[in-house]
Amino acid sequence: MNDMEHPGRRNFMALAERYSSPDSLFNIIPVPYDATSSYMAGSRMGPRAIIDASANIEVYDHDLEMEPAQAGIATLEEIPVVVGDPALMVEAVEQAVVGVVGRGGLPVVVGGEHTVSLGAVRALARKQDFFVVSLDAHADLRDSYQGSKLSHACFLRRTSELVGCAAYGVRSVSREEVQYAASSGTRLFFADGLGRREVDTLQLDYIPDTVYLSIDVDVLDPSIMPATGTPEPGGLGWYYLVDLLRRIVSGRRVLGFDVVELCPLAGNPAPDFTAAKLLYKMMGIIIRYSSNREDDRTRYGKEKARKETEG
């Protein structure tokens, strides 16, 4: 515990008010929604589990040699759930992200099922072109699933209709999804192929300068992340995923990101902690390696100096 933490507050990392005010760089948008879950429901409990677990994360990241929380991490109120209409949920997330961007913040959507990520993509696509990188065990390229075009299994299909995109860590896909990916130019990178290659050898030049990252926790192997709706064997390891995120972010402007599909398991808090740690690690990676966000890196430095002076 240090002066950045305030254990009485229920926000990400239990940060003190001066590190979690509305003008913080990172704005967490919790979306406890999982109405279209097709196997194991429960991701609606993911946002709270992540926030609760985050209270035990060290503020200092020894790998990055920094305290990402110095840039500020605001935790917004949970978005009210509309169970019967995924379109209304997507719209609600879209409006929340528009509000964060309007304040100059970087949106961090925390689900909930993968459908909620579409709201962030739609909000950002209103005014600019960018590229979405999805890290997921599933392609999510179905046109419709279980009668819904806004199912969690359709996230990347709907996204591909708006912007360019790619998926990493895939290990479950239908024939139709493979065919659509080929015809639409959506790149699929399967986990078995990634596992045989060093991260530094991956060719990422095709990814444009401006990106949004969507992280489904099932991209990790179930031995690390069993708490997810549809766990698939053969996933990525923790260090491989972190290195991959670092490579994708380096030299690019990041408009925002999300972490979705955590289904907490009673009696096993480790996956909750892993998801919270991943979210915080991603913030640090953005500050440290996103060279197209010089304004945010400068902001981090100024805020750090100011708060150390105040402290």
Mean pLDDT of the residues in the chain: 90
Residue the block writes with tokens 């915080």 = 280
* Residue 5 within a domain: no
Q: For residue 277, what are its two tokens?
A: 């740690």
* Residue 6 within a domain: no
Task: Return the CATH number at 291.
Answer: 3.40.800.10
pLDDT band at 24; cut points 50, 70, 90: very high
* Residue 259 within a domain: yes
* Residue 252 within a domain: yes
Order of all β-strands in the sheet with 26-31: 73-75, 26-31, 106-111, 253-260, 210-216, 131-135, 164-170, 187-190
Q: State whether the Cα torsion 169-174-179-185 is positive or negative.
A: negative
Distance of alpha carbon 173 from alpha carbon 13, whole angstroms: 36
pLDDT tens figures, 207-220? 999 999 999 999 99
Q: Give me the phi and psi of 77, to 5 degrees please.
A: -65, 150
* Residue 191 within a domain: yes
Q: Which is nearest to 249 in space by CA: 216, 211, 221?
A: 211
Q: Give me the phi and psi of 161, to 5 degrees please.
A: -80, -10
Give the pLDDT of residue 38.
57
CB atoms under 10 Å from CB of 234, counted, come to 14
pLDDT tens figures, 74-133? 999 999 998 778 999 999 999 999 999 999 999 999 988 889 999 999 999 999 999 999
Q: Which has the minimum average pLDDT: 45-49, 116-120, 153-157, 289-293?
A: 289-293
Is 257:212 a contact under the CB 8 Å cutoff? yes
Give alpha helix (H) positions in 69-128.
86-102, 116-124
Give the pLDDT of residue 297.
46
pLDDT tens figures, 123-162? 999 999 999 999 999 999 999 887 788 888 899 999 999 9
Distance of alpha carbon 134 from alpha carbon 170, whole angstroms: 9
> How many distinct structural domains can be found in the chain?
1
Query: Can you give the residue range of the structural domain that contains 119?
Result: 12-310
Provide mean pLDDT across the span 240-269: 96
* Residue 1 within a domain: no
* Residue 2 within a domain: no
Is 136:216 a contact under the CB 8 Å cutoff? yes
* Residue 77 within a domain: yes
